[in-house]
Amino acid sequence: MLVARPIFPEVIARLREHLDVITHDSEQALSATELQARLQGCDGVFVAASEPINAELLAACPQLKAVCSMAVGYNNIDVPACTARGVLVSNAPDVLTETTADFGFALMMATARRIAESERFLRRGEWTHWSFDLMAGADVHAATLGVLGMGRIGQAIARRGALGFGMPVIYHNRSRLPEADEQAVKARWVDKATLLREADHLVIVVPYSPASHHMIGEAELALMKPGATLTNIARGGVVDDAALARALAERRIAAAGLDVFEGEPKVLPALLDLPNVVLTPHIASASIPTRMAMCNLAADNLIAALTGGKPPTALNPEVLART
Ligand code: GLV
Ligand code: GLV
């Protein structure tokens, strides 16, 4: 099997106790063609959020039996195509929920309170005097938190806002949470337009799919309050980055915090030029213990899938029943 990314050596060593392992040792991600070439003869692959696993690759790698990702989002993997070929797919849910929610909350707070902008200002030597409105931003406590996407991470963010910061929480999700869960996170379901109109701080945590492509574009941004902030820790493409850059430049919303981008690791130059946006390099799950847990969970799935066991977080466990 191939580990398509450099990962913790301890996890490689664990995989080697059970499987024949080849590694890709450069931080430069494999291109689709390189991935296909490296996978010849491999029965499994360890991937992260960006390796494209599609029907074309599967057709070219007939020995592949398992695709295990250390990410929770799996929009890079064509799961139905894998299922059709009997290839097991797994992701890494749950182990990153709280860490990712911590980061979403931190990015929202940094955005509201202009922390990154203040730091750049100070480092540039521009801090010459106190002023009544120096870097004055929006309040977080008691402001209305809007959560778009109420999966596990969305619920963990809602809990932080409601229980820790006294925020009224509204959310939108295709399906409503059961009432007991709504009560636990103290969140109220609203339609998408109401969410956009009422949120002081909007945090986006929906998985990417063709249905969520540009879910936040020009028309949606136009509904938001001029003082509102938008934080995206979901996936690039859920937000129309060019429309967001225009709204920020024209101060139609106050600020944005972005951990994910369309076409990342490239970032739209218009965003890089704006003062009122906090930019981070897709690191919401990046605490050391959580990245270790994500790698170990992907390894558990691979070892089980390739040695006749039961992968703990399979997305298409039905393929195992067939063999
Ligand atoms: C990271 O973006 C993940 O999906 O885990
Ligand atoms: C998303 O919210 C997840 O944890 O799957």
SS3 319: helix
User: Domains in the chain: how many in total?
Assistant: 2
Nearest-5° Cα angle at 266, 39 to 103 = 90
Both tokens of 65, joined, read 């039996």
At 198, which CATH number? Answer: 3.40.50.720
Q: Do 307 and 254 fall into the same domain?
A: no
Residue closest via CA to ligand 1's atom 4 equals 73
Same-domain check for residues 90 and 229? no
Q: What ligand 2 atom has the least distance to the C-alpha of 206? A: 2
Domain check: are 101 and 239 in the same one?
Answer: yes
> What is the arithmetic mean of pLDDT over 261-269?
97
Same domain, 104 and 149: yes
Indicate the angle between helix axes 115-123 and 97-112, nearest 10 degrees.
60
Shared domain for 201 and 270, answered yes or no, is: yes
Structural domain including 50 reads: 2-95+287-322
Q: Find the length of the chain.
A: 323
Whether 213 and 125 map to the same domain: the answer is: yes
Contact 79, 102 (CB under 8 A): no
Average pLDDT rounded to a whole number, residues 95-124: 98
Please name which ligand lies nearest the alpha carbon of 93: 2
Pocket test for ligand 1, best of 47, 96, 238 (most atoms within 8 A of CB): 96
Q: List the residue whose alpha carbon is closest to atom 5 of ligand 1.
A: 71
pTM over 0.80: yes
Q: What is the pLDDT of residue 323?
A: 58
Same structural domain, 247 and 308:
no
Quick check: CB of 152 below 6 Å from ligand 2?
Answer: yes
**Active-site residue 16, yes or no?**
no
Kindly give, in sequence order, each residue whose CB lies less than 8 Å from that of residue 13, ignoring residues fewer than 6 positions away: none
Structural Rg of the chain based on CA atoms: 21
Same-domain status, 51 and 123 = no
The structure tokens listed for 47 are 């991937």
Examine the domain organization and report whether 245 and 162 are in the same domain: yes
pLDDT tens per residue, range 83-103: 999 999 999 999 999 999 999
Shared domain for 107 and 216, answered yes or no, is: yes
pLDDT band at 321 (very low <50, low <70, confident <90, very high): confident
For residue 208, the 8-state DSSP code is: P
What digits encode the pLDDT tens for the residues 24-59?
A: 999 898 999 999 999 999 999 999 999 999 999 999
Residue found by looking up tokens 């636990």 in the block: 184
- Which tokens is 323 given? 């063999």
Same domain for 33 and 154: no
